[in-house]
Structure 1
Amino acid sequence: MKATVTAHRDFTIAAIDERIYSAFLEHLGRAVYTGIHEPDHPTADANGMRGDVAELVRELDIPFVRYPGGNFVSAYNWEDGIGPVEQRPVRLDLAWHTSESNRVGIHEFMAWCDTVNTRPMLAINLGSRGLDQARNFVEYVNGPLGSYWGDLRKKNGRAEPWNCRLWCLGNEMDGPWQIGHKTAEEYGRLANETAKALRAFDKGLELVVCGSSNSDMKTYPEWERIVLEHTYEAVDHISLHMYFANRDGDTQTYLSLNHKLDRYIATVAAAIRLVKANKRSKRDVHISFDEWNVWYHSNAEDRAVLEGNAGWPHAPRLLEDIYIFEDVLQVGCILNTFIRRSDVVKIACIAQLVNVIAPIMTEPGGPAWRQTIYYPYYFASRHGRGTALNLSVSCPGYDSIHDDNVPWLDIAGVHDEAARTLTFFAINRHAAESLQTEIALQGFGAARVTEHKVMTHENLRARNTLADPDAVVPRDGAGARVADGLLTVTLPPHSWQMIRVTLA
């Protein structure tokens, strides 16, 4: 089977915002405790943060980490996480039916961000609380000395403001499961008034308003229109969330889910344009896709805790999906979609980062390791920065419940002009046939293949585990070459590949 692609230097989509390779860390399960924080671990630093996990996070080169939730934030009192650790209260978390020790709070998280070379994207509780605690939280984090909140921050060990620029105005407020769930009208008015107050403190803050929790919500996409009618002039982004599952074992249908994702983005982009036109506005609002990942493997195991049958455990094993090779292909398709939608998607956060539906897993007191999905995320973050190319693709396809004529080839291209490189991320969805792929490189001049990585496995259910952490890993590819402006490469059945080309 053959696929042909044209990549032209002048046919571009947009500059890729590096923040599409961001992540999410919630006080949920073992994401924080025995995830990033384990004071008794052999690799722990002076702040009790695991050094082995920090090393794996640094490898990913994550621009921002969203924190502390998620559903958790909608009943969270941020003040519980400041002051002497031994004096912090233990709270019951209604979102995940667990207990929260508050041993990690804003000071510890911010110090960890410095350790792993990332920046914070902080979420504000607009569920059980509101405008006043929102402005107090922002002032505590960013306010000057000589003010109440700035001086309290100094008393708690940090004199200089952290200068956090990126703030989320609540989480999934359209969801009936959310503590403090609101209608679009209720939430839109609260979010706008909160945004106005925060901008009175600092007009340069970047604010994210809640969009739909998923595209199957009954209120979607009217929720986006109503919320933006209230907030358009006061915010910078609207958030979207989506999780991906293969519950019936149909790989072809599963691997077409990113077409549903693409329509979701396109629909919300249209709602943004509609509100902009209605308001005669000159401002642009973009999409923050700040929760996305595969999530279904652990659902049965999670039921006892989530239904309250386990009491109120602290940091139990929750949402610990053990990813398989099939999920490598899915994550690759999702990342390609964000690259191709880089004109409107400016932030995206894999949910989550450690242990909880995460690319990194840990064993308490033991090692940390990379899950299968770590690798497509790693390569995209490292090499998917630059300008997204508007590729012309011709390839046979198949019909799915999510779209007709889904091409067997899913591909995204990135031109990094400063580094003089072209990078292509390609997935062959076909179970049995290789794709003989030709990519015409037009307007780029002389080129040569300098890096080629392949992920494939004879078993779609192969996984990396504590006992076998390297069962599914990338390997060097062979056979990709450029001749007379044509890049040729063979994509084996059910494979992910990255091909990097250096320009003369």
Structure 2
Amino acid sequence: MHPNGYAQQKTIVTISIQQDPEPVDPMIYGQMLENVNDSVIYGGVTDGNGNVLPHITRLLKELDIPVMRWPGGTVIHEYRWRDGIGPRKLRPVVPTYAWKGKENYQFGTDEFLQWCKEINTQPYINFNMANHPLYGGTLWEALDWIEYVNGNPDTTNGGRLRAAYGHKEPYKVQYWGIGNENYGPWGRHKEETAAGYGDRLAVWAGTIHSKYPELHLLGVGHTAAWDSTVLEKSGQAIDYLTQHYYVVSKLKDGQLQNPDNTLFAPAKMEAHLRLLSNLLGRYNKSKAGDPVRLCIDEWNNRHSVLENGEYKFTRQSPRRQFDVAVAAGMLNVFIRQSPVVGMANYIFPVNGHGLIRTIGTNDALKTPLFYLFKQYRQWMTGSKLEVTVKGPGITGAAAAATIDGDCKEIKTGNEQLTYIDAAAVRSSEKGIYISLVNRSWNTGREVAVTVPKGYKVTQTWEIADQNINAFNSVTDRDVLIPKIRTVNNRKGSYSTKLLPCAVMIVKLVRM
């Protein structure tokens, strides 16, 4: 290592422009709302009475969020949509079993859909498909919900009811999820087998599509074996399988422990997505119509903080520099695995791991993830390009990634994982954007990017800090903010240096 803290060996990143590059769906930059008792909706997006907070709405508009999932999540297993429509003073207040809080139904279907329109995002609504005899939803309730949301106000009962409540025009919601983690005993739901869920999904999705063929339906995915069975049972009637991935980070005294476990977690997720991509590739050859794709509709980096000798999960831990590296690594995976990955939903946009943290009722701060999502949404869209990375790294076994969710079936070994992670896209304007992530926690890395012929580097965007545990706070909100630099590089290679856990996006334009 050099005395300045940078590794001696450079990493070489090479970009190849294919003849017909595959598209990157901007829906991978989606978000999710769920009332998890951590001020995500009430005290986050809205006040405690469900009234939308204008200063939060203004910030969310900046992000140009393409899709928003709601109302859950585990809480969907007990959510009754009819309790969230009509006169607000008549709506019940009920305890939530899943998260030990309460739901007052003040931010119900109409409030959510009007808010989506205000921030210019597409809604994605999740049905209650739980199997609890009292709390579980039914297919007829799901059909009624669709009719209430999308029904003609002159010819359907649901549409007439919506109009009577002051919303005549149909909302035209296209995305509907059928179930949530039905493989597990979460909330008001008992564990199901893949065959049992697949049979039920076939009935639900088949019935819905027979009446509403224009809708996009999402079924629950999990392991490769689960997905294979669900596809066999109901694949012809769905458009997506949903997958969930949660990186797990341990913090002691504000410091990330065993950093490699966290920083290389996206690589384990990518191995699982490749496995599922191969499965879908085989299945889609025989599917009539559009292919089934993947939606990673729950993902983030969960912090467990050491308290009284025990690591405890919390949503209150601030988003730090290492979280920027992890989130960028996950987004890079979604780009590389496009178009099989056609949607993703980070949890959550406000508070609870969020991109924004509320301060009282009239103020909020931007976490570094706010800037990351905003820049990826602006620059990292278009068509994906092939990227080759050659440089020092670590084996999968040595990294020992800690990530919960669907990829636990992946076993790591001697596969080499470079410290520098990279993804690249070509925009509709023919510009090229290259995302570089330094997965080293204690070593700066020098990177040489081979610039494609006919292009030059003009700008870089970067979030970096000497301290990988740094974060924005009420008293210092600008610790982690982007630095934009103008570059005039006409050479065939562009060299740069990345601090540990730094994220940089390099902009190239035609000469």
For the 8 Å contact 1:375–1:473, the answer to whether it is kept is yes
Q: Give secondary structure in 2 for the equivalent of 1:326.
A: helix
AA aligned opposite 2:364: A
Please list, as runs of the form range in 1=range in 2, the aligned pairs for 1:439-458 lying within 5 A after superposition. Answer: 439-443=449-453, 445-449=454-458, 451-458=459-466
**Residue number in structure 1 paired with 2:300:** 293
Q: In the alignment, what sits opposite 1:148?
A: 157
CA deviation string 1:266-320 (max 9, x = no partner):
122223234445x56564110001111111246979x9x99xxxxxxxxxxx733
- Distance in 1, Cα, partners of 2:266 & 2:115: 33
Instruction: Measure how far apart 1:467 and its partner are.
Output: 2.7
Query: Are the structure 2 counterparts of residues 466 and 434 from structure 1 closer, same or farther at C-alpha, using a change threshold of 3 Å?
Result: closer
Match of 2:100 among 72, 97, 111: 97
Unaligned runs of 5+ in 1: 41-46, 213-219, 307-317
Distance 1:299 1:371 in 2: 22
Q: Quick one: which amino acid aligns to residue 291 of structure 2?
A: D
Q: Distance in 1 between matches of 2:484 and 2:284?
A: 47
Indicate the residue corresponding to 1:383 in structure 2: 379
Q: Distance in 2 between matches of 1:299 and 1:243?
A: 19
CA displacement 1:132-155 (0-9 Å, x = unmatched)? 111111111111122211111111
Name 1:43's counterpart in structure 2: none
Equivalence for 2:327: 331
Aligned residues: 473
Pair 256,446 (structure 1): closer, same or farther in 2 beyond 3 Å: closer
What secondary structure sits across from 1:247 in the alignment? strand
Alignment match, 2:211: 201
The whole-number CA distance in structure 2 between the counterparts of 1:453 and 1:21 is 18
Deviation at 1:407, TM superposition (A): 0.2
In the other structure, the counterpart of 2:500 is 493
SS of equivalent to 2:230:
helix
346-355 or 403-412, larger mean C-alpha shift: 403-412
Counterpart-to-counterpart distance in 1, 2:149 and 2:418: 47
Distance 1:393 1:481, change over 3 A: farther
Seen in structure 2, the aligned counterparts of structure 1 residues 93 and 152 have a Cα distance that, compared at 3 Å, is same
- List aligned pairs for 1:301-312, cutoff 5 A: none
Q: Distance in 2 between matches of 1:395 and 1:269?
A: 27
> What letter matches 2:423 in structure 1?
A
Contact 1:298 1:319 in 2 (8 A): no
Distance 2:18 2:370 in 1: 32
Query: Is 2:124 the partner of 1:121?
Result: yes
Distance change in 2, residues 1:251/1:368 (3 Å): same
Q: How high is the TM-score relative to the length of structure 1?
A: 0.89
Deviation per CA, 1:396-448, whole angstroms, max 9, x where unpaired?
111222453210110111111x32311111011234443332222335x2434
Superposition misfits of 4+ residues, deviation over 4 angstroms: 279-283, 297-301
Residue 66 (structure 1) aligned to one of 60, 64, 69: 69
CA distance in 2, matches of 1:207, 1:300: 42
Q: Percent identity?
A: 26
2:422 to 407, 411, 430: 411
Alpha-carbon deviation of 1:330? Answer: 0.8
Deviation at 1:60, TM superposition (A): 0.9
Instruction: Report deviation, 1:247.
Output: 2.2
Secondary structure class of the residue paired with 1:240: strand
Check if 1:35 corresponds to 2:44.
yes
Paired position in structure 1 for 2:339: 343
Secondary structure, counterpart of 2:324 in structure 1: helix
- What do you get for the CA RMSD once the two structures are aligned? 2.3
**Does the CA-based 8 Å contact 1:16-1:342 persist in structure 2?**
yes
Cα pair 2:42 2:48 within 8 Å, conserved = no
Cα separation, 2, equivalents of 1:299 and 1:342: 37
Letter in 1 for 2:232: E
8 Å contact from structure 2 (residues 51, 107) kept in 1: no
Secondary structure, counterpart of 2:446 in structure 1: strand
Q: Give the Cα separation in 2 of the matches to 1:163 and 1:355.
A: 29
Partner SS state of residue 504, structure 2? strand
Task: Tell me the SS of whatever aligns to 1:49.
Answer: coil
Q: Partner of 1:86 in structure 2? A: 89
Question: Shift of residue 61 of structure 1?
Answer: 0.8
- Identify which range, 457-466 or 16-25, moves more after superposition: 457-466
CA contact (8 A) 2:44 2:351 kept: yes
| Residues 199-223 of structure 1, C-alpha deviations (whole Å, 9 max, x = no match) | 12210100110112xxxxxxx2211
Distance in structure 1 (CA, Å) of the matches to 2:441 and 2:178: 43
> Is 2:13–2:422's contact at 8 Å kept on the other side of the alignment?
no
Q: Distance in 1 between matches of 2:239 and 2:488?
A: 42
Task: Name the structure 2 match of 1:476.
Answer: 484
Compared CA separation, residues 109 and 169, structure 1 to 2 (3 A): same
1:127-177 Cα deviation digits (max 9, x unpaired): 111211111111111111222111111111111110000111111111122
| Superposition map of 1:169-184 within 5 A | 169-181=178-190, 182-184=192-194
Cα distance in 2 between the residues matched to 1:493 and 1:201: 53
Q: Which moved more, 1:261-270 or 1:10-19?
A: 10-19
* Alpha-carbon distance in structure 2 between the residues aligned to 1:299 and 1:432: 22
Contact 1:196 1:234 in 2 (8 A): yes
Q: Secondary structure at the match of 1:207?
A: strand
Q: In the alignment, which residue of structure 2 is the partner of 1:164? A: 173
Segments of structure 2 that go 5 or more residues without pairing to the other structure are 1-8, 131-135, 252-256, 402-411
Q: Which residue identity does 2:504 align to in structure 1?
A: Q
* Matched position secondary structure for 1:232: helix
Tell me, in whole angstroms, the C-alpha distance in 2 between the residues paired with 1:66 and 1:406.
33
Equivalent-residue separation in structure 1 for 2:288 and 2:120 (angstroms)? 36
Match for 1:435: what amino acid? R
Instruction: Judge which range, 111-120 or 176-185, deviates more.
Output: 176-185
The correspondence for 1:319, drawn from 310, 315, 322, is 315
Aligned to 1:215: none
Output the TM-score relative to the length of structure 2: 0.87
Residues 44-68 of structure 1, C-alpha deviations (whole Å, 9 max, x = no match): xxx8211111111111111110011
Q: Secondary structure at the match of 1:391?
A: strand
- Summarize the Cα distance change of 1:198–1:426 in structure 2 as closer, same or farther, 3 Å threshold: same
Q: Which residue of 2 aligns with 1:467?
A: 475
Letter in 2 for 1:351: I
For residues 116 and 499 of structure 1, what CA distance do their matches in structure 2 show?
A: 28
Q: How far apart in 2 are the matches of 1:162 and 1:386?
A: 28
* 1:253 equivalent in alignment to 2:249: no
Distance in 1 separating the partners of 2:444 and 2:148: 56
